[in-house]
């Protein structure tokens, strides 16, 4: 059993990477990272909230560059190289979403909970800052706003 970052028993730790136009499934992502050698699985779910910067949000749309999925994989590989990741999954939604819809679901399984929390935080934070996905928000007052990265 591997004890060091970047070491994996048997196969590829990246189990699921995707950009989806259809609703996301927490169950699919959780099932993808199931691993009997993992003592900790951390799952993060990003949802569309009803406000941003003091304004009421009616909904939003995500769009992405064609390279977005490849960038997600690159980031997943970086996380797997820095932490003892047993399994990792990340999916992001594009298209029109309503308040409460799932926008992103990521999960990481590691031998211990602390490593899983740290790896999952690195995964979602890096995805948010580096993957070319853009958010177009529609506000209740009729205004709109583009946000450079989701």
63-96 residue pLDDT tens: 999 999 999 999 999 999 999 999 999 999 999 9
**For residue 61, pLDDT beyond 70:** yes
By CB atoms closer than 10 A (0-12, 13-18, 19+), residue 53 is: exposed
21-50 residue pLDDT tens: 999 999 999 999 999 999 999 999 999 999
**pLDDT for the residue 147:** 86
Contact 138, 59 (CB under 8 A): yes
**pLDDT for the residue 148:** 73
The CATH number of 14-147 is which of 3.40.50.300, 3.90.1170.40, 3.30.530.20, 3.30.70.1230?
A: 3.90.1170.40
The band of 53, judged by pLDDT with boundaries at 50, 70 and 90, is confident
Q: What is the chain's alpha carbon radius of gyration, rounded to the nearest angstrom?
A: 16
**pLDDT for the residue 7:** 45
Per-residue buried b or exposed e for 134-148, using 16+ beta carbons within 10 Å of the residue's own CB: bbebebeeeeeeeee
Place of tokens 């926008």: 103
Q: Where are the alpha helices (DSSP H) in 33-110?
A: 68-82
The band of 150, judged by pLDDT with boundaries at 50, 70 and 90, is very low
First-to-final CA distance of the chain: 36
**pLDDT for the residue 42:** 98
The conformation of residue 42, written as its DSSP 8-state character, comes to E
**For residue 1, pLDDT beyond 50:** no
**For residue 2, pLDDT beyond 60:** no
Distances (CA, A) of 56 to 52, 133, 138, 142: 7, 22, 9, 10
> What ranges do the domains of the chain cover?
14-147
Separation CA 118–CA 28 (nearest Å): 22
104-141 residue pLDDT tens: 999 999 999 999 999 999 999 999 999 999 999 999 99
Q: Name beta bridge partners: 4.
A: none
Confidence (pTM): 0.90
């Amino acid at each position: 059993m591997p004890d060091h970052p970047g070491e994996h028993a048997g196969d590829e730790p990246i189990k699921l990477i995707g950009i989806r136009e259809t609703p996301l499934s927490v169950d699919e992502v959780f099932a993808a990272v199931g691993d009997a050698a993992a003592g900790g699985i951390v799952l993060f779910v990003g949802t569309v909230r009803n406000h941003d910067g003091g304004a009421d949000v009616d909904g939003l749309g995500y769009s992405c560059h064609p390279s977005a999925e490849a960038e997600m994989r690159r980031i997943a590989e970086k996380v797997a190289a820095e932490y003892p990741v047993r399994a990792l999954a990340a999916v992001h939604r594009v298209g029109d979403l309503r308040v409460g819809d799932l926008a992103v679901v990521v999960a990481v399984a590691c031998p211990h909970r602390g490593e899983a929390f740290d790896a999952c935080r690195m995964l979602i934070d890096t995805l948010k800052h580096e993957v070319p996905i853009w958010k177009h928000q529609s506000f209740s007052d009729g205004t709109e706003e583009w946000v450079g990265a989701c």
